[in-house]
Amino acid sequence: MITFDKVGLTYAEADAPVLADVELTIPEGELCLVIGRTGSGKSTLLRAINGLVPHFSGGTLSGRVIVDGRDTRRHRPRDLADVVGFVGQDPLAGFVTDTVEDELAYGMESLGLAAAVMRQRVEETLDLLGLPDVRHQPLADLSAGQQQRVAIGSVLTTHPRILVLDEPTSALDPQAAEEVLATLQRLVHDLGLTVVLAEHRLERVVQYADRVVLVPGAGRPVRHGDPAVVLQDSSIAPPVVELGRVTGWRPLPLSVRDARRRAAPVRALLADRRPPTPERRAPGPPMEPLARVDHLVAGYRGLRVLDGVSTGLWPGEVVALMGRNGAGKSTLLRALVGSKRPTSGRVRLGGVAPDELKPTELLRHVGLVPQEPNDLLYAHSVALECVQADRDAGVGAGTTRTILERLSPDIPDSAHPRDLSEGQRLTLALAVVLAARPPLVLLDEPTRGLDYTAKHRLVEILRDLADAGRCAVLATHDVELVAEVSSRVLVLADGELVADGPTPDVVTASPAFAPQTAKILAPQRWLTPTQVATALAEVTEVSL
């Protein structure tokens, strides 16, 4: 179905190829998972399948990409539209209509399908992706997860033979991600669709993959094959694989089910051990909260999104804000920076309402990294972006660049921010905010587009913030990040705060938000492979 024959790609003005000598065949009816570090070339490989590379992106393509017998050198994306459906990282950028129904129908209209066929497929897709309740809503009013599902649905309605998806679950809550992946499974197994997707959250999808393609970047050889074999010695691996390495399981498990079947001896070894309890890292006596939310009610166009939310945010905390798509997480963050005024109730930063502060004064209290990092990026190069951030924050030259280098060390100064991968743009926006050193840092989906290595660097920075007596709030669907770094979890549902407590108490009580390690070792409350490795090492020392 898809063949890469000695394919290489070098972008204009690049010092090295992104892809080099790629030899790969993906058969019909296979689910192929593409993995690699942020900026390694995964998106380039995906875009080569439907001709966006090089017809749209430019660059020099060597070798051949054959898709259903068509050479992409001679067939542009429009010539492959009946065979390949493509969903990019940013669904909002790909929409061409205003409402959900119109977007689902647009592709079929372009192909000239009959109205009766279009109506039936729209209804089927709305039900398939759980979107009937928003069918008439403007696309701009949807949550990020809902927009992602609409983007996938707009491609599915044209019934392509190949579906290519770039980070399809990155903006989805765990339940919605499972629904999308279950849909892809049905398309592969029941209809013989070929699915190629890139994904950083391997814990969600690796167990469904027939093949894994590892793109190491910098033009190095691409590896592909059985998922367990490719992940055996890879630094990119989900927690279930890391736990398999810690415990010495062979072959490595790829799913919670496989790991749990082998976990009884490990649970027995850990029976007398207790996981560490997360604590506020700020030294000294209890302090006043950095922010206080009291009976907050807020919404849009008459729709109540937050309904009576009350909580405090304290120095030394890393707080995870969780809940399904549309629960009100982003709205709460916007209220904390004053960009969303309360309908009733109040928000206070050090006793002052955020919407009463000037921007320069607000930054002394709080900084927000939004879901769309482009909202903070406006310079023509990474170097200029860092220089301007230093000036705006009134910090020494090179401060922002130093933070960026720690988060994502391979971003060139000359690159335009809009040409970076989504994960790289996010790390640049995060560096811009952190340079100002606000005591309260808010991050909306901070691991969207980040590989495991970049995520580990983010964890280190968040811990440093807490150790320095600052507070970080993460609105996230990434349960593994929550398990790794957060001390407290807030859960929103239908605008109400339904849980507020220590991370182990909240996440282990929820099947949806429990990390893989907790599911494997339940009823014990271990959250990460690192915790397990430390405890097993102590057990070994005691036995010796």
Residue 411 pLDDT more than 70? Answer: yes
Confidence of residue 353 (pLDDT cuts 50, 70, 90): very high
Residue 249 pLDDT more than 80? Answer: yes
Q: What is the mean pLDDT of residues 406-428?
A: 86
Q: What is the DSSP letter of 381?
A: S
Spatial distance between the Cα atoms of 345 and 294, rounded to a whole number of angstroms: 6
Six token digits for residue 145:
């997860």
Six token digits for residue 153:
């649905």
Q: What does the pLDDT look like over 166-187, one tens digit per residue?
A: 988 877 888 888 888 888 888 8
Q: What is the mean pLDDT of residues 470-474?
A: 95
Are domains 2-234 and 291-516 of this chain identical in fold? Answer: yes
pLDDT (0 to 100) of residue 541 = 55
Confidence of residue 543 (pLDDT cuts 50, 70, 90): very low
DSSP 282-303: --SS----SEEEEEEEEEETTE
Where are the alpha helices (H) located in 112-164, listed in sequence order? Answer: 115-128, 144-156
Whole-number percent of the chain with pLDDT over 70:
97
Cβ atoms of 1 and 49 within 8 Å: the answer is no
SS (H, E, C) 476-543: CCCHHHHHHHCCEEEEEECCEEEEEEEHHHHHHCCCCCCCHHHHHHCCCCCCCHHHHHHHHHHHHHHH
Q: What does the pLDDT look like over 9-52, one tens digit per residue?
A: 988 877 788 899 999 999 999 999 999 988 888 999 999 999 99
Q: What is the mean pLDDT of residues 511-534?
A: 93
Residue 33 phi, psi dihedral angles, 5° rounding = -105, 125
What average pLDDT does the chain have? 89
CB atoms within 10 A of CB 227: 21
Spatial distance between the Cα atoms of 158 and 165, rounded to a whole number of angstroms: 15
User: Considering Cα of 420, then 423, then 425, then 428, what sign does the dihedral take?
Assistant: negative
Q: What is the mean pLDDT of residues 90-114?
A: 90
Spatial distance between the Cα atoms of 333 and 311, rounded to a whole number of angstroms: 13
Spatial distance between the Cα atoms of 100 and 106, rounded to a whole number of angstroms: 10
For tokens 């109040």, name the residue: 346
Cβ atoms of 50 and 86 within 8 Å: the answer is yes
For tokens 């992602």, name the residue: 148
pLDDT (0 to 100) of residue 90 = 76
Spatial distance between the Cα atoms of 223 and 242, rounded to a whole number of angstroms: 20
pLDDT (0 to 100) of residue 526 = 94
| Strand (E) or helix (H) holding 198 | strand 194-198
- Homologous superfamily (CATH) of 2-234 is P-loop containing nucleotide triphosphate hydrolases (3.40.50.300)
Cβ atoms of 378 and 387 within 8 Å: the answer is no
pLDDT (0 to 100) of residue 489 = 96
CB atoms within 10 A of CB 5: 15
pLDDT (0 to 100) of residue 284 = 46
Residue 473, classed as helix, strand or coil, is strand
Give domain limits for the chain: 2-234, 291-516
pLDDT (0 to 100) of residue 276 = 80
Cβ atoms of 449 and 423 within 8 Å: the answer is yes
Residue 243 pLDDT more than 60? Answer: yes
Give the contacts of 542 (CB within 8 A, at least 6 positions apart): none
Beta bridge partners of 19: 9
Confidence of residue 225 (pLDDT cuts 50, 70, 90): very high
Q: What does the pLDDT look like over 270-306, one tens digit per residue?
A: 998 988 876 554 444 457 899 999 999 998 877 889 9
Cβ atoms of 67 and 243 within 8 Å: the answer is no
Spatial distance between the Cα atoms of 123 and 100, rounded to a whole number of angstroms: 11
Residue 33, classed as helix, strand or coil, is strand
For tokens 């980070």, name the residue: 167
Distance of CA 492 to the CA centre of its chain: 19
Cβ atoms of 409 and 440 within 8 Å: the answer is no
Residue 198 pLDDT more than 90? Answer: yes
Residue 542 pLDDT more than 80? Answer: no
Q: In what order do the strands lie in the sheet with 303-313?
A: 303-313, 291-300, 344-349
Distance of CA 72 to the CA centre of its chain: 30
Give the contacts of 436 (CB within 8 A, at least 6 positions apart): 363, 367, 389, 392, 393, 395
Confidence of residue 129 (pLDDT cuts 50, 70, 90): confident
* Region 291-516: CATH code: 3.40.50.300
Residue 500 pLDDT more than 60? Answer: yes
Tell which residue, 244, 197, 228, has the closest CA to residue 45. 197
Alpha-carbon dihedral 323, 328, 330, 336, rounded to 10 degrees: -120
